[in-house]
Protein backbone atom coordinates (compact mmCIF):
# COMPACT_ATOMS: atom_id res chain seq x y z
CA UNK A 1 0.00 0.00 0.00
CA UNK A 2 1.34 3.38 -0.94
CA UNK A 3 1.65 6.03 1.77
CA UNK A 4 0.18 8.66 -0.57
CA UNK A 5 -3.16 10.20 0.28
CA UNK A 6 -6.09 8.91 -1.80
CA UNK A 7 -6.54 12.50 -2.96
CA UNK A 8 -3.12 12.34 -4.62
CA UNK A 9 -4.43 9.74 -7.09
CA UNK A 10 -5.05 11.10 -10.56
CA UNK A 11 -8.66 11.54 -11.64
CA UNK A 12 -8.99 8.34 -13.75
CA UNK A 13 -7.59 6.27 -10.88
CA UNK A 14 -9.87 7.93 -8.33
CA UNK A 15 -12.87 7.31 -10.59
CA UNK A 16 -11.83 3.68 -11.06
CA UNK A 17 -11.50 3.24 -7.30
CA UNK A 18 -14.94 4.69 -6.58
CA UNK A 19 -16.56 2.56 -9.29
CA UNK A 20 -14.83 -0.57 -8.03
CA UNK A 21 -15.97 -0.01 -4.43
CA UNK A 22 -19.51 0.92 -5.46
CA UNK A 23 -19.81 -2.14 -7.73
CA UNK A 24 -17.97 -4.51 -5.40
CA UNK A 25 -15.90 -6.11 -8.15
CA UNK A 26 -14.93 -5.92 -11.80
CA UNK A 27 -14.89 -8.94 -14.11
CA UNK A 28 -12.82 -8.87 -17.28
CA UNK A 29 -9.77 -7.10 -18.65
CA UNK A 30 -7.97 -4.87 -16.18
CA UNK A 31 -7.77 -1.23 -17.20
CA UNK A 32 -4.61 0.81 -16.63
CA UNK A 33 -6.37 2.70 -13.81
CA UNK A 34 -7.40 -0.57 -12.16
CA UNK A 35 -3.85 -1.87 -12.47
CA UNK A 36 -2.65 1.29 -10.74
CA UNK A 37 -5.06 0.47 -7.88
CA UNK A 38 -3.66 -3.06 -7.64
CA UNK A 39 -0.10 -1.71 -7.64
CA UNK A 40 -1.04 0.71 -4.83
CA UNK A 41 -2.63 -2.03 -2.72
CA UNK A 42 -6.08 -0.49 -3.11
CA UNK A 43 -7.37 -3.43 -5.16
CA UNK A 44 -6.48 -7.06 -5.71
CA UNK A 45 -6.78 -9.27 -8.76
CA UNK A 46 -8.01 -12.86 -8.45
CA UNK A 47 -8.24 -14.58 -11.80
CA UNK A 48 -10.70 -12.59 -13.94
CA UNK A 49 -11.86 -10.52 -10.96
CA UNK A 50 -10.59 -7.24 -9.52
CA UNK A 51 -11.88 -6.38 -6.03
CA UNK A 52 -11.18 -3.52 -3.64
CA UNK A 53 -9.01 -4.22 -0.62
CA UNK A 54 -10.04 -2.91 2.81
CA UNK A 55 -7.55 -0.10 2.24
CA UNK A 56 -9.23 0.66 -1.09
CA UNK A 57 -12.66 0.79 0.51
CA UNK A 58 -11.33 3.14 3.20
CA UNK A 59 -9.73 5.35 0.55
CA UNK A 60 -13.02 5.52 -1.41
CA UNK A 61 -14.77 6.47 1.82
CA UNK A 62 -12.29 9.31 2.37
CA UNK A 63 -12.79 10.56 -1.18
CA UNK A 64 -16.59 10.40 -1.06
CA UNK A 65 -17.62 11.15 2.54
CA UNK A 66 -19.73 14.27 3.01
CA UNK A 67 -18.50 16.64 5.75
CA UNK A 68 -19.78 15.25 9.04
CA UNK A 69 -22.46 17.44 10.57
CA UNK A 70 -22.81 19.57 7.45
CA UNK A 71 -26.05 20.59 5.77
CA UNK A 72 -25.59 18.12 2.92
CA UNK A 73 -25.00 15.22 5.28
CA UNK A 74 -28.07 16.07 7.37
CA UNK A 75 -30.27 16.39 4.29
CA UNK A 76 -29.01 13.16 2.71
CA UNK A 77 -29.22 11.26 6.00
CA UNK A 78 -32.90 12.20 6.31
CA UNK A 79 -33.56 10.93 2.80
CA UNK A 80 -31.53 7.79 3.45
CA UNK A 81 -33.90 6.98 6.31
CA UNK A 82 -36.77 7.20 3.82
CA UNK A 83 -34.84 4.99 1.41
CA UNK A 84 -34.28 2.09 3.82
CA UNK A 85 -37.90 0.91 4.22
CA UNK A 86 -38.25 1.02 0.42
CA UNK A 87 -35.03 -0.98 0.21
CA UNK A 88 -36.61 -3.60 2.48
CA UNK A 89 -39.65 -3.81 0.22
CA UNK A 90 -37.49 -4.22 -2.89
CA UNK A 91 -35.68 -7.15 -1.28
CA UNK A 92 -39.01 -8.84 -0.63
CA UNK A 93 -40.10 -8.27 -4.22
CA UNK A 94 -36.82 -9.69 -5.55
CA UNK A 95 -37.24 -12.75 -3.33
CA UNK A 96 -40.78 -13.23 -4.65
CA UNK A 97 -39.47 -12.92 -8.22
CA UNK A 98 -36.94 -15.68 -7.61
CA UNK A 99 -38.98 -18.00 -5.37
CA UNK A 100 -42.67 -18.81 -5.35
CA UNK A 101 -44.60 -18.85 -2.05
CA UNK A 102 -44.07 -22.62 -1.68
CA UNK A 103 -40.30 -22.14 -1.86
CA UNK A 104 -39.90 -23.51 -5.37
CA UNK A 105 -37.87 -21.62 -7.97
CA UNK A 106 -39.89 -19.24 -10.09
CA UNK A 107 -39.40 -20.36 -13.69
CA UNK A 108 -41.55 -17.47 -14.94
CA UNK A 109 -44.02 -19.81 -16.62
CA UNK A 110 -46.91 -18.39 -14.57
CA UNK A 111 -47.64 -15.03 -16.17
CA UNK A 112 -50.27 -14.12 -13.58
CA UNK A 113 -47.83 -14.68 -10.70
CA UNK A 114 -45.10 -12.64 -12.40
CA UNK A 115 -47.59 -9.86 -13.10
CA UNK A 116 -48.55 -9.73 -9.42
CA UNK A 117 -44.90 -9.31 -8.42
CA UNK A 118 -44.33 -6.75 -11.16
CA UNK A 119 -47.30 -4.72 -9.90
CA UNK A 120 -45.65 -4.45 -6.49
CA UNK A 121 -42.53 -3.05 -8.14
CA UNK A 122 -44.46 -0.03 -9.42
CA UNK A 123 -44.94 1.31 -5.88
CA UNK A 124 -41.24 0.83 -5.10
CA UNK A 125 -40.18 2.51 -8.34
CA UNK A 126 -42.47 5.46 -7.70
CA UNK A 127 -41.10 5.81 -4.16
CA UNK A 128 -37.44 5.65 -5.17
CA UNK A 129 -38.12 8.15 -7.95
CA UNK A 130 -39.40 10.70 -5.45
CA UNK A 131 -36.51 10.03 -3.07
CA UNK A 132 -33.90 10.20 -5.82
CA UNK A 133 -35.20 13.54 -7.07
CA UNK A 134 -34.57 15.00 -3.62
CA UNK A 135 -31.26 13.19 -3.19
CA UNK A 136 -30.04 14.59 -6.50
CA UNK A 137 -30.73 18.10 -5.23
CA UNK A 138 -28.22 17.34 -2.45
CA UNK A 139 -25.73 15.33 -4.54
CA UNK A 140 -26.05 15.74 -8.30
CA UNK A 141 -23.76 12.72 -8.84
CA UNK A 142 -26.69 10.48 -7.84
CA UNK A 143 -28.84 11.68 -10.73
CA UNK A 144 -27.93 8.88 -13.15
CA UNK A 145 -29.52 6.21 -10.94
CA UNK A 146 -33.04 7.24 -11.96
CA UNK A 147 -32.24 6.67 -15.63
CA UNK A 148 -30.37 3.45 -14.86
CA UNK A 149 -33.33 2.02 -12.92
CA UNK A 150 -35.73 3.04 -15.68
CA UNK A 151 -33.56 1.32 -18.30
CA UNK A 152 -33.62 -1.93 -16.29
CA UNK A 153 -37.39 -1.65 -15.85
CA UNK A 154 -37.85 -1.22 -19.60
CA UNK A 155 -35.83 -4.38 -20.25
CA UNK A 156 -37.99 -6.24 -17.73
CA UNK A 157 -41.16 -5.10 -19.44
CA UNK A 158 -39.69 -6.04 -22.81
CA UNK A 159 -39.60 -9.65 -21.63
CA UNK A 160 -36.21 -10.12 -19.96
CA UNK A 161 -36.92 -11.70 -16.53
CA UNK A 162 -33.25 -11.30 -15.55
CA UNK A 163 -33.59 -7.52 -15.75
CA UNK A 164 -35.02 -7.49 -12.23
CA UNK A 165 -32.57 -9.61 -10.23
CA UNK A 166 -29.67 -10.91 -12.35
CA UNK A 167 -26.32 -10.21 -10.65
CA UNK A 168 -24.50 -10.53 -13.98
CA UNK A 169 -26.15 -7.56 -15.69
CA UNK A 170 -27.28 -3.99 -15.05
CA UNK A 171 -30.47 -5.37 -13.54
CA UNK A 172 -32.79 -3.27 -11.40
CA UNK A 173 -31.42 -4.92 -8.27
CA UNK A 174 -27.80 -4.45 -9.35
CA UNK A 175 -28.32 -0.73 -10.00
CA UNK A 176 -30.14 -0.43 -6.68
CA UNK A 177 -27.25 -2.09 -4.83
CA UNK A 178 -24.80 0.36 -6.39
CA UNK A 179 -26.98 3.27 -5.26
CA UNK A 180 -27.15 1.82 -1.77
CA UNK A 181 -23.38 1.40 -1.57
CA UNK A 182 -22.75 4.95 -2.78
CA UNK A 183 -25.12 6.30 -0.13
CA UNK A 184 -23.20 4.39 2.56
CA UNK A 185 -19.93 5.91 1.32
CA UNK A 186 -21.35 9.43 1.23
CA UNK A 187 -22.74 9.15 4.75
CA UNK A 188 -19.97 7.08 6.33
CA UNK A 189 -22.43 4.37 7.42
CA UNK A 190 -21.20 0.83 8.01
CA UNK A 191 -23.14 -2.20 6.82
CA UNK A 192 -23.86 -3.15 10.42
CA UNK A 193 -25.30 0.28 11.18
CA UNK A 194 -27.23 0.18 7.91
CA UNK A 195 -28.88 -3.13 8.81
CA UNK A 196 -29.68 -1.98 12.33
CA UNK A 197 -31.22 1.26 11.14
CA UNK A 198 -33.31 -0.46 8.46
CA UNK A 199 -34.66 -2.95 10.99
CA UNK A 200 -35.62 -0.13 13.35
CA UNK A 201 -37.34 1.88 10.61
CA UNK A 202 -39.25 -1.09 9.23
CA UNK A 203 -40.29 -2.14 12.73
CA UNK A 204 -41.47 1.40 13.40
CA UNK A 205 -43.69 1.28 10.32
CA UNK A 206 -45.38 -1.93 11.45
CA UNK A 207 -46.02 -1.00 15.08
Cα(149)–Cα(47) distance, rounded to whole angstroms? Answer: 30
Phi and psi at 43, nearest 5°, equal -145, 165
| Res. 207: pLDDT tops 70 | no
The predicted model gives 168-191 an average pLDDT of 96
Mean pLDDT computed over every residue of the chain: 93
9 pLDDT band (50/70/90 cuts)? confident
State the pLDDT at residue 4: 56
pTM listed for this prediction: 0.92
Cα(62)–Cα(56) distance, rounded to whole angstroms? Answer: 10
State the pLDDT at residue 3: 53
Percent of the chain at pLDDT > 90 equals 89
Output DSSP code: residue 99.
Answer: B
pLDDT tens, residue by residue, 68-117? 999 999 999 999 999 999 999 999 999 999 999 999 999 999 999 999 99
State the pLDDT at residue 53: 96
178 pLDDT band (50/70/90 cuts)? very high
Residue ranges of domains in the chain: 6-64, 71-206
Identity of the highest mean pLDDT range in 24-28, 165-169, 183-187: 183-187
Q: 6-64 belongs to which CATH class?
A: mainly alpha
| Res. 206: pLDDT tops 80 | no
Instruction: Give, to the nearest 10 degrees, the angle between helix 54-64 and helix 11-23.
Output: 110
State the pLDDT at residue 59: 94
Cα(39)–Cα(4) distance, rounded to whole angstroms? Answer: 13
Amino acid sequence: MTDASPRSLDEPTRDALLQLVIQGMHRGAVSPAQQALVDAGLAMAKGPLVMPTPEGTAAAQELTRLPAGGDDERALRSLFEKFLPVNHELREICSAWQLRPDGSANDHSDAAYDASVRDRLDDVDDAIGRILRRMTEVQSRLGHYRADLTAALEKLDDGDPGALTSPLSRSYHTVWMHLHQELLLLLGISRAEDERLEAELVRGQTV
